[in-house]
Structure 1
Amino acid sequence: MASNDNSPGAYIYVSYPRTKDTRFDSEYYLKTHMAIVDKHWRAFGLKSWTVVEFPEGDPSGLHTQGILLFDTFEQFEKAIEANIPEVMTDLPNYSNVMPVRYYGKVVERG
């Protein structure tokens, strides 16, 4: 899909909660999982991604958050619907907690 430079974009937040039993391999997530996501989801319109790690005790209750930027939320939905096994079954390789997904459409930039 071609990028629409006039589109403000849609952000998808893939948030991994921190619990007392959370196992999260940050190195694997950064170097392997995100490379898999990038490889497969660029074709669906993934423009960029960012990974944020939260310090222990952060009031958000999060351990790590992956932030994906697409032109539209529909592009992300198509990437998910494609159900690419390499992306969708990789979770046990880096974490034992299920992520929570949030999304939002950009309405303005400054």
Structure 2
Amino acid sequence: MIKVSVMYPKSLDGTFDMNYYCKTHIPLVGELLGGALKNVAIDSGIAGGAPGEEPAFIAMAHMTFDSVENFQEAFGPHAETIMADLANFTNIQPQIQISEIKL
């Protein structure tokens, strides 16, 4: 199993509509990726590790797939549609990491 993490760094001029993200964007992604998407979890950053520290990321999505190939096959045909929707909820360029789930 692999996890694709889409992370939106917190910045002074960054905007992010969590309501749109959770109620519109993520359901759109789920519909487009279909059965290849096994699970999705959304995090909303509230703090850093030290008292009073801001979170490094304003939001993160963690999506689980059976393999990198399954993700790429599902995402590829819909990449343009998914990426075009970003302008509807944020002005932040997301960072993406693909990880192998070990535990």
Q: Same fold (TM over 0.5)?
A: yes
Partner of 1:15: 7
Aligned pair partner of 2:17 in 12, 20, 25: 25
1:36–1:86: 8 Å Cα contact kept in structure 2?
Answer: no
**Alignment partners' CA distance in 1, 2:5 and 2:45:** 14
Consecutive unaligned residues of structure 2, counting only runs of 5 or more, are 48-53
Q: Give 1:100 shift.
A: 0.4
- What do you get for the CA RMSD once the two structures are aligned? 1.3
Partner of 2:58: 63
**Letter aligned with residue 42 of structure 2:** V
**Alignment partners' CA distance in 2, 1:106 and 1:84:** 23
Q: Give 1:87 shift.
A: 1.7
Using structure 1 for the length normalisation, give the TM-score. 0.81
The runs of 4+ residues in structure 1 deviating greater than 6 Å are: none
Partner of 2:43: 52
Q: How does 1:52-91 map to 2 (within 5 A)?
A: 52-56=43-47, 57-58=54-55, 61-91=56-86
**Alignment partners' CA distance in 1, 2:75 and 2:83:** 8
Using structure 2 for the length normalisation, give the TM-score. 0.87
**Alignment partners' CA distance in 1, 2:86 and 2:59:** 13
Aligned-residue identity in percent: 26
Consecutive unaligned residues of structure 1, counting only runs of 5 or more, are 1-8
**Letter aligned with residue 11 of structure 1:** K
**Alignment partners' CA distance in 1, 2:11 and 2:94:** 12
Aligned pair partner of 2:88 in 84, 93, 110: 93
**Alignment partners' CA distance in 2, 1:65 and 1:22:** 14
- Paired residue total: 97
1:24–1:94: 8 Å Cα contact kept in structure 2?
Answer: yes
